[in-house]
Amino acid sequence: MRLRATAAALFVVAGLTAGCGGDDNSGASGGEARSVEIATVEYAFVARESITIEAGETIEFVVSNEGEIDHEMEVLTDASRRLGKTDRISPGASDSLIVTFEDAGVYTVICDIDDHRSRGQVAEFTVFEPGESTS
């Protein structure tokens, strides 16, 4: 599944991303993290499966670089506040970050290396309240 700048393309969510130079690399409050695999390729994020995440849930994003150039992944709130960021990931390598999604709402993942974001390596997803329908 190729991740695009729409809610359904990145994650399927019900009530629904490691640190570089001191950035936060872990979820704030939240319980045990559930692991979700994401691949980076040239100017896209690819989820291994559909993902359902509820507000309050803690997710460990395991991000692998399956492209031919360096990538990273940052998770941002709708106000562009960074919730987590991987280190720069070389081709064939991986990194992870843990995020607790405390609130329902729209979140964004980006690769902020060079011009990757402007070339389309950005996707949005929606986090819903627990028990809220995703259909």
Number of folded domains that form the chain: 1
The answer to whether residue 85 is domain-embedded is yes
CA distance 22 to 97: 13
Question: pLDDT tens digits for 111-125?
Answer: 999 999 999 999 888
On whether residue 133 sits in a domain, the answer given is no
- What pLDDT, in 10s, does the model give residues 46-100? 988 888 889 999 999 999 999 999 999 999 999 999 999 999 999 999 999 999 9
Residue 117 CA: distances (Å) to CA of 15, 42, 66, 84, 88: 27, 11, 17, 16, 14
Q: Is residue 20 part of a domain?
A: yes
Tell me the pairing of strands 58-65 and 2-3.
unpaired
Distance, CA of 11 to CA of 53 (rounded, Å): 8
Least confident of 6-10, 30-34, 50-54, 63-67: 6-10
Q: Residue 134 domain-assigned?
A: no
CATH number at residue 62: 2.60.40.420
Domain membership of residue 135 (yes or no) is: no
Distance in Å from the first CA to the final CA of the chain: 18
Give the pLDDT score at 1: 38
Give dist(CA 64, CA 86) in Å, integer.
10
Q: Is residue 13 part of a domain?
A: yes
pTM listed for this prediction: 0.76
* 99 touches 58 (CB < 8 A): yes
Q: In this structure, are residues 90 and 83 in contact, taking their beta carbons and an 8 Å threshold?
A: no
Question: For 98, phi and psi rounded to 5 degrees?
Answer: -115, 130
- Which structural domain, as residue segments, surrounds residue 117? 2-127
Report the pLDDT value the prediction gives residue 26, as an integer from 0 to 100.
41
- The Cα 42–Cα 40 span in angstroms is 7
Domain presence at residue 7:
yes
Domain contains 17: yes
